[in-house]
RNA sequence: GGCCGGGUGGCCGAGUGGCUUAGGCAAGGGCCUGCAAAGCCCUGUACGCGGGUUCGAUUCCCGCCCCGGCCUCCA
């Protein structure tokens, strides 16, 4: 069984085709580092992280490229507003994105190229397009001639002639469809030298140049949000095609996050929930579960209900892992019967929801084994569950070890034991009022007691 | 206006031409428990509306309604 993915260009789910067997080259359109990340950005990262981890889990080596757009109109504008250099703002925001990714354990990309570090590659690509006649210089700008690319529209399935034209304020274009590869410098703006005079790259050309720099002219997978299909990916493809590059074999797009009104979450709509705020509301693994548990192509609505459901589901899983580990000791993740079903779900266009159904089935089985004291079977189930959780980066033990204060654990353990002993004495003389009062005091302190066949277990609420 | 996606039980969310019709949450019942907690079992019988194709459609086709995305920056 090999991984099959939905390809936007052909609109089909088909086996992932690779340039080199065993190796996957992935290019992801990362953020424009203009503002702090919201949960929509994080959904993108989480969804593609599951893809990344699944490719690794199935034995591939992966070159995972996620670019950073660190110069563009908005960054320049906002920086000017703050009276700071554009690169200071860009760096600050890039760091905020990195912190957000780290918070939910997104694997770092193999390389994280920035536009400002690739001007030579970008200008070289533009020069190639000018030389072969598909692009033209006009007043210090350079534009791609869309009509020179017959395949234009093949990614987004748009008919160029039916596109609603925006404000035709740019008289430098030969055709309204043409788009800028290079923008002549305006006074006071960041600029780099080029054969067409000082300026800076257009938005789309950077990705074409950086993808080729790190993955070659033909590579396996190009991914990004659904909102990038047009014009960004269409234009990227057009430029690269015009340059004679095969470019990406498969184009993958994930769904967006909506805010309360059902509208797409975005900074410009003013309905963003910042990652930093979300993390104050929910634990990081729950945030990861909430953003990653729906199918990657579906829309996720960000609501209290969704968050609460994610918390309940994750807690159920985490509780099982914790209880089972207490019963049979720490068990290494291992693939065993049940794994195939999980793998088949992920191979089918990253069917995370079905995979989670398999996972929950295993958890239920494990809980039964735990109750029946079938410890040998339980150990196996625990290993399987943890193996599945590892792919999703949701394993409470290896991915989300209880944070900090480990040196306090033995101390708390003894203090709790003190109360548990007192409660046990109360229970022995059937003084339920006293027993419950002691338990209530612990509950107030955030400690939950559970009476089991093996004695009393405690945990933090 | 053009292109695209979606409307599934109380909620979220998969999926399928008919079969024991995912999974989670919530609800009700039961088991376990002194009571809880955790867990297990059972129950709920859903597919926007109207046509059509079919022995049979939630699943295919057509029309309609509604929601959302893109056509401007956007994960």
CA-based nearest residue to A365, from A344, A338, A400 = A338
Residue A231, token pair as written in the block: 């014009």
Q: Give pLDDT, residue A168.
A: 54
Predicted local distance difference test score (pLDDT) of residue A167: 52
Report pLDDT for A158: 87
Q: Are A36 and A96 in contact (CB under 8 A)?
A: yes
Q: Is the CB of A306 less than 7 A from some atom of nucleic acid strand B? A: yes
**pLDDT tens column, A34-51:** 999 999 999 999 999 999
Cis check for the bond before A231: say yes or no (omega within 30 of 0). Answer: yes
The DSSP line for A161-199 is: GGSPP-----TT-SSTT-EEEEEEPPTTS--B--TT-SE
* Integer Rg of chain A from CA: 27
* Strand B at less than 7 A from CB of A434: no
Q: What does DSSP say about strands A179-184 and A141-144: parallel, antiparallel, or unpaired?
A: antiparallel
A157 sits within 7 Å of strand B by its CB: yes
Which chain A residues in 266-295 sit with Cβ < 7 A of strand B? Answer: 266, 268, 294-295
Q: Cβ atoms within 10 A of the Cβ of A45, count?
A: 25
Structure-token pair, residue A143? 């534009």
Burial (CB count <10 Å: 0-12, 13-18, 19+), residue A416: middle
* pLDDT computed for residue A268 by the predictor: 86
For β-strands A179-184 and A4-7, DSSP reports them as unpaired
**Angle, CA A53 vertex, CA A400 and CA A59 arms, to 5°:** 130
pLDDT value of residue A461:
76
Pairwise CA distance, residues A338 & A73, whole Å: 51
Quick check: helix, strand or coil at residue A245? Answer: coil
Q: Model confidence over A253-293: pLDDT tens digits?
A: 999 999 877 889 998 888 999 999 999 989 999 999 999 99
Nearest-angstrom CA–CA distance, A214 and A338? 38
Residue A132 tokens, joined: 């072969």
Low-confidence ranges of chain A (pLDDT < 70): 1, 164-170, 403-406
Distance CA A335, CA A356 (A): 16
Return the nearest residue to B2, CA–C1'.
A162
What is d(CA A276, CA A94) in angstroms, rounded to the nearest whole number?
Answer: 14
| Residue appearing with tokens 């990344």 | A52
Query: Which residue blocks in A295-371 are alpha helix, DSSP H?
Result: 304-328, 339-347, 352-371
CA distance A60 to A21: 8
**Cα–Cα distance for residue pair A56/A108, rounded to 1 Å:** 13
Tokens standing for residue A135: 């692009």
- Residue A352 CA and nucleotide B41 C1' are separated, in Å, by 27
pLDDT given at position A255: 94
| A window 230-249: Cβ near strand B (< 7 A) | 230-232
Residue A298 carries which DSSP code?
S
Q: How far is residue A49 from each of residues A53, A107, A250, A460, measured CA to CA in Å?
A: 6, 6, 17, 29
Nucleotide closest in space to A450 (CA vs C1'): B37
For A383, residues 6+ apart whose C-beta sits below 8 A from its C-beta are A331, A332, A333, A334, A336
On the 0-12 / 13-18 / 19+ scale of CB atoms within 10 A, A10 is exposed
* For the segment 88-127 of chain A, residues whose CB is within 7 A of strand B: none
Q: Please spell the DSSP secondary structure of A79-117, one letter per residue.
A: HHHHTS-HHHHHHHHHHHHHHHHHHTTPPPPSB--BGGG
Alpha helices in A196-338 (DSSP H): 205-215, 234-242, 275-281, 284-292, 304-328
pLDDT for res A170: 58
Q: Å between A127 CA and B59 C1'?
A: 52
> Do residues A51 and A346 lie in contact, with contact meaning Cβ atoms separated by under 8 Å?
no
Is nucleic acid strand B under 7 Å from A77's C-beta? Answer: no
Q: Do the bridges between strand A247-254 and strand A218-225 make them parallel or antiparallel, or are there none, so unpaired?
A: parallel
Q: What is the pLDDT of residues A370-382, one digit of tens each?
A: 999 999 999 999 9
The β-bridge relationship of strands A61-66 and A257-258 is unpaired
Q: How large is the angle between the packed helices A205-215 and A119-131, nearest 10 degrees? A: 110
pTM value is: 0.94
Look-up of token digits 């589901």: A313
Secondary structure class of A378 (helix, strand, coil) = helix
Q: Is the CB of A353 under 7 A from strand B?
A: yes
- Residue among A272, A225, A255, A284 at smallest CA distance from A106: A284
Nearest to A38 by CA among A210, A287, A295: A287
């Amino acid at each position: 069984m090999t991984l099959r993915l939905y390809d936007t260009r052909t609109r089909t789910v088909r086996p992932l085709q690779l340039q080199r067997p065993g190796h996957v080259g992935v290019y992801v359109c990362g953020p424009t580092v203009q503002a702090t990340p919201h949960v929509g950005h994080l959904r993108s990262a989480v969804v593609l992280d599951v893809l990344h981890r699944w490719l690794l889990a199935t034995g591939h080596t992966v070159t995972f490229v996620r670019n950073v757009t660190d110069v563009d109109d908005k960054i320049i504008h906002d920086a000017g507003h703050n009276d700071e250099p554009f690169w200071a703002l860009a760096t600050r925001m890039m760091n905020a994105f990195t912190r957000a990714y780290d918070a939910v354990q997104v694997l770092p990309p193999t390389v994280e190229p920035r536009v400002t570090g690739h001007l030579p590659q970008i200008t070289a690509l533009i020069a190639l397009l000018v030389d072969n006649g598909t692009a033209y210089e006009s007043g210090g700008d350079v534009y791609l001639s869309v009509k020179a690319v017959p395949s234009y529209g093949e990614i987004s399935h748009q008919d160029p002639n039916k596109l609603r034209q925006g404000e035709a304020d740019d008289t430098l274009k030969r055709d309204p469809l043409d788009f800028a590869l290079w923008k002549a410098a305006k006074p006071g703006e960041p600029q780099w030298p080029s054969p067409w005079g000082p300026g800076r790259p257009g938005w789309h050309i950077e990705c074409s140049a950086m993808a080729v720099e790190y993955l070659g002219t033909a590579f396996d997978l190009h991914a990004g949000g659904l909102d990038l299909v047009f014009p960004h990916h269409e234009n990227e493809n057009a430029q690269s095609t015009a340059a004679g590059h095969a470019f990406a074999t498969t184009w993958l797009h994930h769904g967006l996050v909506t805010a309360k009104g059902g509208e797409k979450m975005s900074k410009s709509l003013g309905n963003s929930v910042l990652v930093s705020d979300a993390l104050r509301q929910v634990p990081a693994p729950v945030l990861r579960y909430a953003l990653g548990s729906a199918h990657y192509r579906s829309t996720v609505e960000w609501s209290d209900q969704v968050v609460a459901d994610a918390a309940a589901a994750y807690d159920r899983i985490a509780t099982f892992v914790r209880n089972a580990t207490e019963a049979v000791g720490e068990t290494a993740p291992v693939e065993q019967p049940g794994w195939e079903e999980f793998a088949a779900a992920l191979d089918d266009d990253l069917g995370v929801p079905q995979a989670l159904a398999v996972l929950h089935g295993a958890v239920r089985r494990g809980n039964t084994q735990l109750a029946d004291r079938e410890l040998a079977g339980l150990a196996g189930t625990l290993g399987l569950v943890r193996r599945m959780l590892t792919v999703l980066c949701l394993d409470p033990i290896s991915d989300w070890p209880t944070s900090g204060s480990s040196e306090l654990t033995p101390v708390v353990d003894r203090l709790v034991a003190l109360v548990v002993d007192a409660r046990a004495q109360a229970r022995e003389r059937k003084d339920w009022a006293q027993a419950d009062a002691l338990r209530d005091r612990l509950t107030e302190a955030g400690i939950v007691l559970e009476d089991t066949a093996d004695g009393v277990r405690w945990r933090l609420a």
